[in-house]
């Protein structure tokens, strides 16, 4: 059972790492919103999320990795359940992703508002 528990932690960590990478990729989208002849001006919230978002995402990935290493290398007979790790990883990533999704849509709304009316 202990080996299956470690495998479950590894699977969760792999999916968590991929999800962190995808959230980081979302942060690369706002500078790509361009209109012909209009200078890009990112909203303050978007700039804020782009500044602190990668650090938070990397921090979450490092914490998840360190926790899994601790689970894999400890010498105890009682296994630590993987459900708690899954819930914590999913919840923390969800709470970080919500403001980032708002931040990536703000430049789009800003650009749409600047389209000249014909």
Q: Over the stretch 9-52, which tens digit does the pLDDT of each residue have?
A: 899 999 999 999 999 999 998 888 776 766 778 889 999 999 99
In a domain, 29, yes or no: yes
Count of domains observed in the chain: 1
Q: Do residues 4 and 49 touch, judged by C-beta distance below 8 A? A: no
In a domain, 41, yes or no: yes
What gap in Å lies between CA 87 and CA 102, rounded to an integer?
23
In a domain, 104, yes or no: yes
pLDDT digits (tens, 9 = 90+) for 59-88: 999 999 999 998 888 877 777 888 888 999
pTM given for the model: 0.82
Specify if 118 maps to a domain: no
Q: Give a yes or no: residue 94 inside a domain.
A: yes
Q: Which domain holds residue 45?
A: 2-113
Give how far Cα 43 sits from Cα of 31, 61, 69, Å. Answer: 11, 27, 39
Residue 62, in any domain of the structure? yes
Nearest Cα to Cα of residue 45 among 33, 55, 53: 53
């Amino acid at each position: 059972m202990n080996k299956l528990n470690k495998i479950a932690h590894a699977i969760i960590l792999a999916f968590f790492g991929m999800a962190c990478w995808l959230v980081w990729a979302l942060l690369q989208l706002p500078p790509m919103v361009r209109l012909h002849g209009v200078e890009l001006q990112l909203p303050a919230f978007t700039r804020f999320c782009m500044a602190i978002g990668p650090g938070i995402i990397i921090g979450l990935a490092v914490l998840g990795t360190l926790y899994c290493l601790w689970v894999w290398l400890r010498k105890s007979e009682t296994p630590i359940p993987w459900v708690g790790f899954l819930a914590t990883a999913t919840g923390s990533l969800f709470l970080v992703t919500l403001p980032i999704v708002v931040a990536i849509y703000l430049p789009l709304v800003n650009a749409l508002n600047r389209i000249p009316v014909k």
